[in-house]
Amino acid sequence: MTDLSSTERLIGQLFGDAARTERHDNLIIGEAPFDGQVLAVLGTVDQTYIGADAALAMARAVLDVMRDHPGRAILIIVDNSGHRLGRWDELVANNGCVAHLTKCLDLARRRGHRVIGLVNELAVSAGFMALGMSTDACYALPQAEVRVMALNAMSRVTKIPLDRLEELCKTSPVLGPGVRNFVRVGALRGVWEDDPAEELRRALADNPGEEDMRQMLALERGGRTQAQAITHMVRAGLEA
């Protein structure tokens, strides 16, 4: 008997023992009945890295849902350390595989599947882009972490001293890791503070529709105060 991953425990919390999911390496693929409908469930475990294999395996699962269960809602449980850093993954073009996964998730949205993301432990950079940001609404558990890069690595690359970065992070939502910051910049729709099953029920009922609301949320939440105005300016063809 192996220890259950946090993703599997979360599936238990959400669906009891009614979930029919299987674990393949660091992926969880399956379905679960919920409030009289069946949801497709797709997740990763143990803060896995998204390499070409994982990206394609998840894309396969999304394509299967589109083909076999038109309209079925898809819950993506996100737990990753970002894309895999390795020579082989670059040789076979991991960026193309990750882009393919995002195309599949995006097409599912457009074909009427609700695609809901939930970061349960960690989402890093391209791993968040590949999974969380391609959904029609992405949420996070309160204890989860979302980041582009850990602060000490960011300090090395930007040559900004770590203590200064830490100071700046106290006020700036655009710089540092953290679920609250990603809520403020509009990348997360919200945090699931309550019972996850109740939160899932609410998320399924709250259909954000076709339009991308993230710039608007970012403005309301003070996380990105300029993005929406700039986008409107360019869309209108204004020179200055």
Site for other proteins in 53-82 (CB under 8 A): 53, 56, 59-60, 63, 66-67
State in angstroms the smallest separation of the CB of 49 from other proteins: 10
The residue among 18 and 92 lying less far from other proteins, judged by its C-beta, is: 92
**Minimal distance in Å, beta carbon 3 to other proteins?**
26
Nearer to other proteins, 37 or 172 (CB): 172
In DSSP notation, 167-218 reads: HHHTT-TTTS--HHHHHHTTSSSEE--S-HHHHHHHHHH----SS--HHHHH
**Shortest approach of other proteins to residue 217 CB, angstroms?**
10
Nearer to other proteins, 155 or 201 (CB): 155
Q: Within 187-216, which residues bind other proteins (CB under 8 A)?
A: 187, 212, 214-215
Instruction: Pick out residues in 82-141 that bind other proteins (CB under 8 A).
Output: 83, 85-100, 102-104, 106-107, 110-111, 125-126, 128-130, 133-134
Query: With respect to other proteins, which residue has the nearer C-beta, 9 or 24?
Result: 24
Of the pair 33, 70, the CB lying nearest other proteins is at 70
Q: Which is nearer to other proteins, 37 or 231 (CB)?
A: 231
Distance CA 25, CA 158 (A): 35
Say if residue 192 is exposed, middle or buried (CB neighbours under 10 Å; 0-12, 13-18, 19+). Answer: buried
Element (H, E) at 233: helix 227-235
Write out 25-77 in H/E/C secondary structure. CCEEEEEEEECCEEEEEEEECCCEEECHHHHHHHHHHHHHHHHHCCCCCEEEE
| Helix 196-205 × helix 6-15 angle, to 10° | 70
By CB under 8 A, the residues from 9 to 48 that bind other proteins are: none
- Of the ranges 11-19, 39-47, 155-163, 189-197, which one interacts with other proteins (CB under 8 A)? 155-163
239 C-beta neighbours (distance < 10 Å), count: 4
CB of 193 to other proteins, least distance (A): 21
